[in-house]
Amino acid sequence: MRRVLGIAIPAAVLIVLAFVPKLSLDIPVILNGPLDSPGTLQLLALCLLFAGIALTYDVLFGFTGLLSFGHALYVAVGVYMTAIALTRWEWGLWPTIAFILALGIALPLVLGAVSLRVSGIAFAMVTLAFAQAGNVLVQKNPYGWTGGEEGTGLNYDHIPDAFVGVLNTKNLYWLALGYAVLVFVVVRLAVNSSAGHVWRAIRENEPRVEVLGLWPYPFKLIAFVLAAFLAVLGGVVWLLLIGGATPEVTTANFTLALLVMVVLGGAGTRFGAMIGGFLYTLLDQRLGALSGSSRVQDLPDVLRVPLSEPLFLLGTLFILLVFFVPGGIASLPARLRGMRPRREPLPEEAAV
């Protein structure tokens, strides 16, 4: 029964999501236009994209227990290097794709090999430092490639027509949905593989893995490269979605946002991380609109100032979540079940 539901529910969600561009429903408060309007589709596409990117971060943080503060770098590589190759170097579509795929494996392989020499908090700081180097490079604007503070636009000459223009937002939406599905499938396969079992063992107790005769380093490196590679792909989708690159994607705050998404949804769970990424993006976008609304602007300063800062609300929400719902949204069903008198054993017990 549980197995059937485990396939049926995602399939149903996927079918509904795939037909969203064909529906002209109005969802008041949450969205500010009918589902098939380009603005709403763009927002939903962003949410789906971040559901995927959050899951790539979960491979590191949730499944392998690696606290990286530099994941933004790889999303930024996807965004910036694609934009630079297409716009500044005027490469064609296929050379660009080949270049990005190669870079998406080579760069995390080198940086991961260095940063994984340390573990725990030192690893977090080293990844942060590498991401900061990326941020500095982008700000430095070498040869005028990155455009510094302003960022860079995208040359659409070599991009398939299906992804160009407001009318084609629905195709971009499907692209983002495809990306989320791809990440989900790859992560599912990887986590259930034998390497995936070692990842979780490393998360639980790394010295024990060593005592059992396995060398954790290559397994951690595989997780790092896989997560970074998928993040690079996410960056490419993002570039197509927003039509340009801005330096915000290179900042430490961007990685922190990914961390918040994963913890919000539930670290170490596939659906949790995706729901977290989706919800965070929706909240981030809609709270911005809320803060600009007259209802908030008319409040006294004590309430107006905090309410008009989305990051303040998200940061506070995050702290409350860590304290009161440590497992994130994914743990809520089990929690609610725990409150009622239990009729059937929890899945873990049933498995034993």
d(C-alpha 221, C-alpha 243), whole Å: 32
d(C-alpha 73, C-alpha 150), whole Å: 18
d(C-alpha 52, C-alpha 234), whole Å: 7
- Which tokens hold the place of 42? 């763009």
Of 57, 91, 130, 254, the one binding other proteins by CB under 8 A: 130
117 touches 277 (CB < 8 A): no
Of 92, 160, 165, 306, the one binding other proteins by CB under 8 A: 306
342 binds other proteins (CB under 8 A): no
Of 41, 86, 128, 242, the one binding other proteins by CB under 8 A: 128
Q: Which is nearer to other proteins, 24 or 253 (CB)?
A: 253
145 binds other proteins (CB under 8 A): no
d(C-alpha 46, C-alpha 65), whole Å: 26
Site for other proteins in 233-272 (CB under 8 A): 252-253, 256, 259-260, 263
230 touches 131 (CB < 8 A): no
Which residues lie closer than 8 Å to 315 by C-beta, 6 or more apart? none
The distance of closest approach from Cβ of residue 310 to other proteins in the complex, given in angstroms and rounded to an integer, is 8
318 binds other proteins (CB under 8 A): yes
Dihedral pair phi/psi, residue 287, rounded to 5°:
-65, -35
Of 9, 121, 303, 334, the one binding other proteins by CB under 8 A: 121
Strands 152-153 and 244-245: antiparallel
The distance of closest approach from Cβ of residue 317 to other proteins in the complex, given in angstroms and rounded to an integer, is 8
For residues 57 to 96, the per-residue mask of contacts with other proteins, x marking binding by CB under 8 A and - elsewhere, is ----------x-----------------------------
End-to-end CA distance of the chain: 17
List residues binding other proteins (CB under 8 A): 67, 114-115, 117-118, 121-122, 124-126, 128-130, 132-133, 136-137, 139-140, 252-253, 256, 259-260, 263, 305-306, 308-312, 314-316, 318-319, 322-323, 326
